[in-house]
Structure 1
Amino acid sequence: MSRVLRLTAGALAAAFLMGCAPVGIDDALKETNSSASQFTGGKLELSRTKAQREARAALADDLLSEPLSEDGAVRLALANSPSVQALIAQSGAAISSANQTGRLPNPVFTFERMRLNSELELDRLLSFGLVDLILFPQRLSISRSQAAQAKIQLTGAVVDQVTQVKQAWVRAVAAQQSLQYAEQVNQSAEASAELARRMQLIGNFSKLQRARQQVFYADATTQLASARHAVTASREALVRGLGLDDSQAARLQLPERLPDLPKSPRDAREVASTASQQRLDVQLARAQLDVAGKSQGIDLLSTFVDVDAGVRRDTVFDSGTRSTRRGFEFDIRLPLFDWGSAQRDAMNAQTLAAANRYDATVRGATSQLREDYSAYRTAYDIARHYRDEIVPLRQSMAEENVLRYNGMLIGVFELLAEARDQIASVTHAIDAQQQFWLADSALAASVIGKPMTTGESMAGAASQTPFGAAH
Structure 2
Amino acid sequence: MQGIRRLAPLVAATALAGCASFSPDGGMSVVADITGRTTAKEVASIRTGDDAARMRDATRKLLARPLSADAAVQVALFNNKGLQAAFRQLALSEADAVEASLPPNPTFSLMRISGDGAFEAERQVAGDILALATLPLRSEIARERFHQAQLRAALATLRLAAEVRRAHVRVVAANELVALLVEAQSAAEATAKLAAKLGETGALNRLDQAREQVFYAETTAELATARRAAGSARERLIRLMGLWGDDLDFRLPGKLPALPRRPLTEPFVERDAVAHRIDLQIARLELTALATSLQLSEATRFVTLLDLAGLERKTGEPDGRVIRERGYDLQFQIPIFDGGEVRVRQAAETYNIAFNRLTERAVTVRSEARDAYRSYRAAYDIAGHYAREVLPLRQIISEEMQLRYSSMQVDIFALLLEARQRLASRRAAIDAVRDFFLAEAELSAAVNGGGGAAAETTAQQTASAVAPGDH
Instruction: Name the residue aligned to 1:297.
Output: 295
Unaligned segments of structure 1, at least 5 residues = 456-471
Contact 1:439 1:454 in 2 (8 A): no
Aligned equivalents of 2:137, 2:453: Cα separation in 1 = 39
Aligned equivalents of 1:453, 1:167: Cα separation in 2 = 15
Aligned equivalents of 1:119, 1:454: Cα separation in 2 = 73
Shift, 1:340, TM fit: 5.0
Shift, 1:300, TM fit: 4.2
Residue correspondence of structure 1 range 350-389 to structure 2 within 5 A? 350-389=350-389
Which amino acid letter does the alignment assign opposite residue 17 of structure 2?
A
Contact 1:368 1:451 in 2 (8 A): no
Aligned equivalents of 2:175, 2:386: Cα separation in 1 = 19
Instruction: Name the residue aligned to 2:436.
Output: 436
Unaligned segments of structure 2, at least 5 residues = 456-471
Aligned equivalents of 1:202, 1:442: Cα separation in 2 = 57
TM-score, normalised by the number of residues in structure 1: 0.89
Q: Please give the secondary structure, in 2, of the residue aligned with 1:36.
A: helix
Instruction: Name the residue aligned to 1:84.
Output: 83
Residue correspondence of structure 1 range 282-293 to structure 2 within 5 A? 282-293=280-291
Aligned equivalents of 2:245, 2:419: Cα separation in 1 = 40
Instruction: Name the residue aligned to 2:134.
Output: 135
Contact 1:282 1:362 in 2 (8 A): yes
Instruction: Name the residue aligned to 2:186.
Output: 187
Shift, 1:259, TM fit: 1.0
Residue correspondence of structure 1 range 110-259 to structure 2 within 5 A? 110-249=109-248, 251-259=249-257
Instruction: Name the residue aligned to 2:267.
Output: 269
Contact 1:25 1:92 in 2 (8 A): no
Instruction: Name the residue aligned to 1:393.
Output: 393
Shift, 1:200, TM fit: 3.1
Which amino acid letter does the alignment assign opposite residue 246 of structure 1?
G
Aligned equivalents of 1:349, 1:32: Cα separation in 2 = 32
Superposed CA deviations along residues 67-125 of structure 1, whole A, max 9, x for unmatched, are 11122112211222222222111122123222322222222222323234322222222
Deviates more, 1:190-199 or 1:288-297: 190-199
Contact 2:162 2:450 in 1 (8 A): no
Deviates more, 1:322-331 or 1:45-54: 322-331
Change (3 A) 1:242 1:451: closer
Instruction: Name the residue aligned to 2:347.
Output: 347
Aligned equivalents of 1:28, 1:371: Cα separation in 2 = 34
Shift, 1:136, TM fit: 0.7
Which amino acid letter does the alignment assign opposite residue 15 of structure 1?
A
Aligned equivalents of 2:237, 2:433: Cα separation in 1 = 18
Give the CA RMSD over aligned residues: 2.5
Change (3 A) 1:15 1:179: same
Provide the aligned length of Structure 1 versus Structure 2.
451
Which amino acid letter does the alignment assign opposite residue 424 of structure 2?
A
TM-score, normalised by the number of residues in structure 2: 0.89
Shift, 1:363, TM fit: 2.5
Change (3 A) 1:79 1:131: same
Aligned equivalents of 1:128, 1:414: Cα separation in 2 = 95
Aligned equivalents of 2:301, 2:243: Cα separation in 1 = 52
Which amino acid letter does the alignment assign opposite residue 357 of structure 2?
R
Change (3 A) 1:354 1:272: closer
Instruction: Name the residue aligned to 1:461.
Output: none
| 1:424 counterpart = 2:412 | no
Deviates more, 1:374-383 or 1:364-373: 364-373
Instruction: Name the residue aligned to 1:44.
Output: 43
Superposed CA deviations along residues 290-317 of structure 1, whole A, max 9, x for unmatched, are 1112122223455643222222222333
Q: Please give the secondary structure, in 2, of the residue aligned with 1:124.
A: strand
Which of 257, 260, 263 is residue 258 of structure 2 equivalent to?
260
Instruction: Name the residue aligned to 1:462.
Output: none
Which amino acid letter does the alignment assign opposite residue 167 of structure 1?
R
Contact 2:79 2:243 in 1 (8 A): yes
Change (3 A) 1:111 1:4: closer
Aligned equivalents of 1:229, 1:160: Cα separation in 2 = 26
Which of 7, 14, 17 is residue 15 of structure 1 equivalent to?
17
Change (3 A) 1:298 1:234: same
Identity fraction in percent: 32
Contact 2:4 2:125 in 1 (8 A): no
Superposed CA deviations along residues 347-383 of structure 1, whole A, max 9, x for unmatched, are 2221111111221222332222111111111111111
Change (3 A) 1:214 1:334: farther
Q: Please give the secondary structure, in 1, of the residue aligned with 2:307.
A: strand
Contact 2:103 2:135 in 1 (8 A): yes
Superposed CA deviations along residues 156-211 of structure 1, whole A, max 9, x for unmatched, are 11111111111111111111111100112222332333333333333333333333
Superposed CA deviations along residues 411-431 of structure 1, whole A, max 9, x for unmatched, are 222222221221221121111
Q: Please give the secondary structure, in 1, of the residue aligned with 2:25.
A: helix
Change (3 A) 1:119 1:413: farther
Using CA pairs under 8 Å that are at least 6 residues apart, name the structure with larger relative contact order, 1 or 2: 2
Q: Please give the secondary structure, in 1, of the residue aligned with 2:209.
A: helix
Contact 1:375 1:454 in 2 (8 A): no
Q: Please give the secondary structure, in 1, of the residue aligned with 2:353.
A: helix
Aligned equivalents of 2:454, 2:430: Cα separation in 1 = 17
Aligned equivalents of 1:302, 1:339: Cα separation in 2 = 10
Q: Please give the secondary structure, in 1, of the residue aligned with 2:253.
A: coil
Instruction: Name the residue aligned to 1:99.
Output: 98
Which amino acid letter does the alignment assign opposite residue 297 of structure 1?
Q
Aligned equivalents of 2:269, 2:43: Cα separation in 1 = 25
Aligned equivalents of 2:346, 2:196: Cα separation in 1 = 78
Which amino acid letter does the alignment assign opposite residue 427 of structure 1?
R
Q: Please give the secondary structure, in 2, of the residue aligned with 1:357.
A: helix
Change (3 A) 1:454 1:433: farther
Change (3 A) 1:210 1:345: farther
Which amino acid letter does the alignment assign opposite residue 405 of structure 2?
Y
Deviates more, 1:62-71 or 1:99-108: 99-108
Aligned equivalents of 1:312, 1:263: Cα separation in 2 = 81
Aligned equivalents of 2:419, 2:234: Cα separation in 1 = 29
Aligned equivalents of 1:311, 1:124: Cα separation in 2 = 8
Contact 1:185 1:423 in 2 (8 A): yes
Q: Please give the secondary structure, in 2, of the residue aligned with 1:43.
A: coil
Which amino acid letter does the alignment assign opposite residue 360 of structure 1?
E
| 1:447 counterpart = 2:447 | yes
Instruction: Name the residue aligned to 2:56.
Output: 57
